[in-house]
């Protein structure tokens, strides 16, 4: 008996309703509030959580999210971070495109900092850049922000910019900011004017089930042989990457294949039409 597959709504890409949002944390006040102000057409479809502190010591400084007790080591202490979470409403798919913020340190505060996300269990630094250019900041190593110059009285620096590939997720997105390389553990540091930009998509990214036709689209959802094998005649096959871009197109017969040897390892969405029914399925290419 053919399996009954859950049909991912991405098959109906043309019906998606993607609305942009920004979540802004200006930390204005003493003590500074840690809540975010959400704006944009997609603002009603997400919840912006409060910034929290783990491992660091928050100071009484106003108008910025300031702390001490950063590690003096040249690499992050994974038990010390600032954190914020953006949560999509039920039935909403969340994408985060960029994060910008202002950073500051005292004369003995940390010189380096990185940002990671729960999308890969905080394994890799998010892509970092300085935009607009700022002579006081640079990106070194693998996406590590770094204060260029030493100072006795340091001021806040703009230009910290992150881009992400977090796209069309239906679970909360958490960002962690790790500061390290302090010249003394009593040195202070802060973030300010954090702006998280993205889109909230409703409609097509929900799921439904077609119990009547019991469609069998992809037979090998874990692709190890560089060939996607189909369990039916499928018209207008498209393979989408997780950014929503079409990377393959074809039409296939039952037990036919599409070669994906040129695609990178990772998750993809396969869509097509079987017996005039639009269907789609998520695959993982090894």
Q: Any residues with CB less than 8 A from the CB of 183 and at least 6 apart, and which?
A: 72, 107, 108, 109, 111
Q: How large is the average pLDDT for residues 51-79?
A: 97
Per-residue pLDDT at 198 exceeds 70: yes
pLDDT band at 62 (very low <50, low <70, confident <90, very high): very high
Tell me the whole-structure pTM to 2 decimals: 0.69
pLDDT band at 16 (very low <50, low <70, confident <90, very high): low
Per-residue pLDDT at 5 exceeds 60: no
Give the residue, 213 or 32, on which the prediction is more confident. Answer: 32
Q: What is the C-alpha separation between 280 and 6, in angstroms, rounded?
A: 8
pLDDT value at residue 217: 81
Gyration radius (Cα) of the chain, Å: 23
pLDDT in tens, 154-166: 899 999 999 988 8
Read off the tokens for 75.
């690499």
pLDDT value at residue 172: 94
Give the residue, 278 or 70, on which the prediction is more confident. Answer: 70
Per-residue pLDDT at 210 exceeds 70: no
pLDDT in tens, 101-145: 999 999 999 999 999 999 889 999 999 999 999 999 999 999 999
Per-residue pLDDT at 45 exceeds 50: yes
Per-residue pLDDT at 209 exceeds 50: no
Read off the tokens for 91.
């039935």
DSSP secondary-structure letter at 27?
A: -
pLDDT band at 216 (very low <50, low <70, confident <90, very high): low
Read off the tokens for 250.
């074809």
Structural contact between residues 96 and 201, judged by C-beta atoms closer than 8 angstroms:
no
Q: What is the C-alpha separation between 123 and 145, in angstroms, rounded?
A: 16
């Amino acid at each position: 008996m053919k399996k009954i597959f859950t049909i991912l709504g991405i098959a109906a890409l043309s019906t998606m309703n993607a609305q942009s949002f920004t979540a802004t944390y200006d930390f204005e006040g003493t003590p500074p509030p840690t809540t975010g102000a959400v704006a944009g057409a997609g603002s009603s479809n997400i919840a912006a959580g409060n910034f929290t502190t783990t491992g660091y010591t928050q100071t009484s400084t106003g108008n910025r999210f300031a702390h001490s007790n950063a590690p003096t080591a040249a690499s992050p202490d994974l038990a010390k971070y600032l954190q914020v979470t953006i949560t999509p409403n039920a039935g909403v798919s969340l994408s985060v495109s960029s994060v910008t913020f202002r950073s500051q340190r005292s004369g003995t505060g940390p010189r380096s900092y990185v940002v990671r996300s729960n999308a890969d269990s905080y394994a890799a630094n998010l892509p970092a850049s300085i935009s607009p250019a700022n002579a006081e900041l640079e990106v070194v190593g693998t996406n590590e922000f770094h204060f260029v110059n030493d100072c006795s009285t340091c001021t806040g620096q703009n230009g910290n910019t992150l881009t992400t590939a977090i796209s069309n997720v239906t679970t909360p997105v958490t960002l962690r900011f790790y500061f390290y390389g302090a010249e003394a553990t009593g040195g202070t540091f802060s973030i300010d004017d954090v702006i998280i930009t993205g889109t909230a998509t409703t409609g097509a990214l929900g799921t439904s089930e077609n119990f009547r036709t019991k469609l069998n689209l992809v037979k090998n959802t874990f692709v190890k042989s560089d060939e996607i094998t189909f369990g039916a005649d499928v018209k207008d096959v498209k393979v989408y990457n997780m950014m929503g871009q079409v990377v393959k197109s074809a039409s296939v017969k039952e037990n036919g294949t599409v070669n994906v040897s040129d695609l990178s390892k990772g998750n993809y969405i396969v869509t097509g039409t079987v017996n005039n029914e639009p269907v789609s399925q998520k695959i993982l290419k090894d």
